[in-house]
Amino acid sequence: MPGPARAVLICALLLLGLTVTNAGVAETVTPELQRAEVLAGMASVGLMLVAVLWTRANPRSAEKVPLKGEQGLVMMDQFNAVQKQELAWGSHMLLTATPAASVLVLWRDQIVLRRGLISQEPFEPGAITKRAMEREQTISLVNTTLFPGRAEFDAMLPSLPAIVVCPMGNEGAVIVGGWSPRCFTRSDERWLEGWTQRLRTTLGDDVVSPVPPDSI
């Protein structure tokens, strides 16, 4: 239970206790005392309800699942400097600003980037990845234990508890694995979708970056 909700609950219990105590020590029961007791009891119940709703609105974050893999960065050397910088910057932001544990970029049937916790197993896009690319819609597996097709991502990293597949049209996809079930918020997904579209434009530009004059 969050700290503020716990404080509200304690206040409610104290108020309820004082109300019961006051009723017990009163020598005579008057209409005024009865009204005060009813109002105090209602206030106590109201505060308890606030504490419960506060807890539901701010649930405790799921603990990180211990994942097997090695921290690393693998990037194909076929891109120009601008494209490499975009891949490096975006993947770094995903790993530091979201609950992502592993990032994989698929582009034109090639794995062009792996970052975060990675495995050495070759990754082949399966039914879920292909469906996201065909429909050009993000697919979020909030809890992979509920999805039979999760096995296609074991080559990315075994036992990932949450996965988001964000397509770059039919040319590729960015696949992000999270540390715990339901760890990605809608804001995380929107940021991923925005960067994926930007990355698609950058990788689709086949113009080689110019060589700086100083390097000639």
Asked whether residue 26 falls in the same domain as residue 83, the answer is: no
| Per-residue pLDDT at 62 | 63
| Per-residue pLDDT at 55 | 67
| Per-residue pLDDT at 162 | 95
| Per-residue pLDDT at 60 | 53
148 lies in some domain: yes
Of 110, 114, 111, the closest CA to residue 71 belongs to 114
Please count the helices (runs of H) and the strands (runs of E) in the chain: 5, 6
Chunked into runs of 10 residues, the chain (216 residues) has average pLDDT values of 73 78 73 77 81 64 79 93 95 95 95 94 94 95 90 93 95 95 93 95 69 37
Asked whether residue 119 falls in the same domain as residue 159, the answer is: yes
| Per-residue pLDDT at 92 | 97
Asked whether residue 47 falls in the same domain as residue 88, the answer is: no
Asked whether residue 46 falls in the same domain as residue 81, the answer is: no
| Per-residue pLDDT at 61 | 57
Asked whether residue 145 falls in the same domain as residue 43, the answer is: no
| Per-residue pLDDT at 201 | 94
Residue 6 C-beta-side C-alpha neighbours within 13 Å? 3
Collapsing DSSP states into helix, strand and coil, what is residue 123? coil
Q: What are phi and psi of 50, to 5 degrees?
A: -60, -45
Number of domains in the chain: 2
Contact (CB, 8 A) for 121 and 152: no
Please state the pTM of the whole predicted model.
0.69
Domain extent, residue 124, equals 70-204
Q: Kind of pairing, strands 139-141 and 162-167?
A: antiparallel
Asked whether residue 146 falls in the same domain as residue 106, the answer is: yes
| Per-residue pLDDT at 207 | 46
